[in-house]
Structure 1
Amino acid sequence: MKIGELAKQSGLASSRIRFYEASGLIGKVQRQANGYREYPAQTLQLLRIITCAQQVGFTLEEIHNMLPENTKGSHHDELLIRLKQKVIEIDALQQRLTQNKAQLLSMIETIENKPEHLECSANAERVFAQLEI
């Protein structure tokens, strides 16, 4: 499959696919006599895996290290460890985001309930004094 067709089917830009190739995420591709890349059919599935992994928070380096051809020993065990670690990281991020959201909502409420006699600068000081840092 040529890169244009692969880009169309995957929804990725051709430049992104070439970047993944240069990064070692997808194997080196055979070139035809005219110089065009000819991607094997399984490349589409690999691109879908890479895209999905990025969407759940894996970096390209983490994805690269999880690919079977880049792991030594038991790929199954390593993969499970990395996936479970990512779930722990996501839980921690969700907790931080929940705390950040609560703090922002508190700030909004404080700003909206500004006493009429307070000027903006004094209200800003009041809002920042209430922040839980």
Structure 2
Amino acid sequence: MKIGELSRMSGMAASAIRFYEEQGLLAPISRTASGYRQYASNAPDRLKLIQGAKKLGFSLDVIRDMLDENGKCSIEKTMQQSAILLREIEEQQAALERRRQSLLILRANLDNYQGDNPCPGNQTVN
């Protein structure tokens, strides 16, 4: 199928498809005599997989590493990369919780504050 048909089938702009091609995530199987890209029948599925992985937070480099030539994900690589991403999310959640606690302490201190300057500058975020 040509890029226009792939664009219609996937709901993705042709420029996005060309971008994924430039990034090594999707390759045309051939070109016509006039230079048009021809994509495999599994190209729409590969684009859906790429989009889904992006929504989960995987970078394009990681997605490229997870995909094999047939457009399928390697279970082993996907498990490894998802573990890394989960650790990053857990670290972010812990940092947000520390920030939340610091804000709650600040609010409690402000509720009890009796001085002239209601916004003390010595509050720290852990």
Shorter-normalised TM range: 0.7 to 0.9
Q: How many residues align?
A: 122
In the alignment, residue 123 of structure 1 is paired with which amino acid? Answer: P
Gaps of 5+ in 2: none
Query: CA contact under 8 A between 1:114 and 1:123: conserved in structure 2?
Result: no
Aligned to 2:92: 93
TM-score calculated relative to the size of structure 2: 0.73
Match for residue 58 of structure 2?
58
Relative to the length of structure 1, the TM-score reads 0.70
RMSD over aligned CA atoms reads 2.9
Secondary structure class of the residue paired with 2:118? helix
2:77 corresponds to: 78
Q: Which moved more, 1:93-102 or 1:25-34?
A: 93-102
- Identify if the C-alpha distance between structure 1 residues 115 and 23 changes in structure 2 by more than 3 Å, giving closer, same or farther: same
Query: In structure 2, how many angstroms separate the alpha carbons of the residues matched to 1:57 and 1:29?
Result: 28
**What is aligned with 1:15?**
15
Q: Percent identity?
A: 33
- Between Structure 1 and Structure 2, the one with more helix by share is 1
2:40 — aligned with what?
40
- The answer for unaligned runs of 5 or more in structure 1 is 70-74
